[in-house]
A and B are shown apart, each in its own frame.
Chain A
């Protein structure tokens, strides 16, 4: 499932990233790589997601989150 489908306060593990090279480069450099754990802090309809990963609070648009596949965690 994609990161945007994770429920608030649940933690998943990133399995893969999609998108063009620029996007993947940017998302990698902010620390979101396959194998790393992500906790969803805030996930409200039509709003950017807030996730916590590698000691960092990160804000992501929903469309960006759809390019990030995760496993584990609770779905919405």
Chain B
């Protein structure tokens, strides 16, 4: 029970048990996402109301068991022990009942009330599998409900089971499991040594089984509570067990088999691979097919994105006439510029990008629900493991060729926070659509036929950059002991639940919009103030003065004040760099956020550039812009996905520094050539 009197439900289930679908369906747009205090693990909570009772749903991290092998598992255990949850909802996948009941078996012995949801009953039925929820309920002594997220009738049964569990404080009757444990030699000895209630909510039987498994935190807690003599006896008993986790595992599955022997019907479906699975597991075709799917997904993302992009475009038409009208009506130029150039253009910029975030979240969220993401993960897992990542990370990387913000949004399907942050950090190195619009053009202007060589070098540098970034950030984001070879399931295909998915996507898009708006407004305002001049002459702006003052330093990286300013502008939006250079070289107008994000370049920009920028400096600028922070909206999206100011700032500073170093190297090489 929370302070506000909400009943707390904790969702517990293995990955692919349909936990997030249930979470989204229950809470809709009422979700808050953050991190568990002091941990690199995402914390999701949401609210709903039923029959006048307010509920708080805590989505516990997806784990395979309740051992102490990872932060996720420790958080889950500690949360249950904290007494915050009034009831734990354990999920199992009906289509893989035997295996997915392992979580229930691992939970058995914990006294916090619980109930069991046999999820995805629709998929199971299609396979000809049937489970008798009532029969299982009778054996387990907890409410058990057959559930299918797309079926609206399922929810009444769910709420009923929930209410019964809360009212009856139901705990799993696992005497059958404990009888099996009793047959393990050391178990009886260990159990007799454990005093009562050493960890709230965890029974002696559960603790003894974990001690048999060699679970260090549990053993330490027991030792802290017993006499020296008992400690020795405990050590002897524990060290007499070999492969405890395998032995208790056999007990757990033995108990599950017994539980299901007369309550579940196995399907007759064969075990052959479907056509699509044969294709993606193919030695040669697997990877091309996955890349093709992601690219098609990317294109499909534009369909829901287009209306929002159109609205963003329309908004971008407002400032010019509005500013004229305002000035005509006697409004001070400063206020008009602030409103038109900062506020409206920022909103227009974000809304255009947001369409893409909406599309990516929807399309790839759907692919995740169907089960396609698990296949993508399978195909690229071993490649991505070299970066310390899951196979799914390939998807954000590919999306980032289009838009880094979309790539960041795509990392939502990665269930490990550290890997998610690392994926975003690496995705920043991928030149986005805006870079592809500017860089080949600049390269052609300056280097003519050498343009393809420069593009090739950029792609090679990108790979090296990603490799280096993975080395630098990987160590703290993805711990060495969390990196193991592929052990993953390929879940059966599921039908997506459109309503819940759409509500979730709208909710997340709204959050991204608000967060991006805050970041963009602050940065745009700061940039605008720095570049504001009352005369229209750029040399009287603060930006010019600072740029000029630090020119000796920026020269080290090959850039004079003009190109350095273009570099700074490119961290807000790549297209902006050209607008800034136009303004400077034509000597007209102010550098505004409008020119930065709108990218309005002078018609004769090509001649201007060639006349004003020497080749080595141009090469430096090209590298500095390509590998700079992608844009402010990508920065905001990174903050939105990582929920970490620290990591967002770290990544941004790192990219700025690396871009400058690369520019310096490019400049020196340029000097040697020309």
Contact = CB atoms under 8 A, between A and B. Distances in A.
Interface in A24-64: 24-31, 33-36, 39, 41-42, 44, 47-48, 50, 52-61, 63-64
B674 interface: no
Contacts, number: 112
A57 to B, nearest CB: 4
Contacts of A29: 14, 64-65, 67, 102, 106, 249
A39 B272 CA distance: 10
B607 interface: no
Interface of A: 16-17, 21-31, 33-36, 39, 41-42, 44, 47-48, 50, 52-61, 63-64
A25 B271 contact: no
Contacts of A54: 96, 98-99, 253
B481 interface: yes
Given A48-B378, A50-B281, A34 B96 contact: no
B490 interface: yes
B489 A26 contact: no
A26 B271 contact: no
A65 to B, nearest CB: 10
Contacts of A25: 65, 67, 69, 213, 245
B283 A55 contact: no
Contact of A22 (B382, B481, B491): B481
Contact of A57 (B246, B283, B487, B490): B490
A33 B102 CA distance: 12
Nearest to A39: B271
Which 6 residue pairs of A and B lie closest in terms of their CB atoms, listed nearest first? A28-B249, A31-B99, A29-B64, A61-B485, A29-B65, A54-B99
Task: State the majority secondary structure of interface residues on A.
Answer: mixed
Interface string B117-130: 00000000000010
Nearest to A33: B249
Contacts of A57: 271, 273, 277, 489-491
Interface in B448-477: none
Contacts of B481: 22
B64 A61 contact: no
B99 A64 contact: no
A61 B378 CA distance: 10
Given A34-B250, A59-B488, 4 more contacts: A25-B245, A34-B246, A55-B266, A59-B381
29 contacts: A21-B245, A22-B481, A25-B65, A25-B67, A26-B64, A26-B487, A28-B65, A28-B249, A30-B99, A33-B250, A34-B246, A41-B272, A44-B283, A48-B381, A48-B486, A50-B490, A52-B271, A53-B99, A55-B97, A55-B98, A55-B266, A57-B273, A58-B488, A59-B490, A60-B487, A61-B485, A61-B486, A64-B485, A64-B487
Nearest to A31: B99
Given A28-B249, A33-B249, A17 B243 contact: yes
A39 B106 CA distance: 25
A21 B249 CA distance: 12
B490 A48 contact: no
A63 B490 contact: no
Interface in B68-110: 69, 95-99, 102, 106
B261 to A, nearest CB: 14
B214 interface: yes
Interface in B487-511: 487-491
A72 B206 CA distance: 35
B246 A24 contact: yes
Nearest to A46: B283
Contacts of A52: 271
Contacts of B64: 26, 29-30
A30 to B, nearest CB: 6
A33 to B, nearest CB: 5
B99 A24 contact: no
Contact of A35 (B250, B283, B382, B486): B250
Given A29-B65, A44-B283, A56 B99 contact: yes
B354 to A, nearest CB: 36
A7 B250 CA distance: 26
A17 B244 CA distance: 11
Contacts of B243: 17, 24
Nearest to B65: A29
A28 B213 CA distance: 12
Contacts of A30: 64, 99, 487, 489
Interface in B15-39: none
B220 to A, nearest CB: 15
B485 A28 contact: no
Contacts of B490: 50, 57-59
B69 A22 contact: yes
A31 B378 contact: no
A27 B64 CA distance: 10
A42 B490 CA distance: 13
Interface in B364-402: 378, 381-382
B273 A41 contact: yes
A21 B378 contact: no
A17 B277 CA distance: 28
A71 to B, nearest CB: 16
Contacts of B102: 28-29, 31
Interface string B247-284: 00110010000000000001000011100010001010
Nearest to B277: A57
A61 B99 contact: no
Contacts of A63: 485
A7 to B, nearest CB: 15
Contact of B489 (A58, A61, A64): A58
B486 A33 contact: no
A48 B382 contact: yes
A26 B99 contact: no
A60 B382 CA distance: 11
Nearest to B492: A57
B245 to A, nearest CB: 5
B473 to A, nearest CB: 23
Contacts of B487: 26-27, 30, 58-61, 64
Interface in B172-225: 213-214
A26 B484 contact: yes
Contacts of B106: 29
A52 to B, nearest CB: 4
A42 B488 contact: no
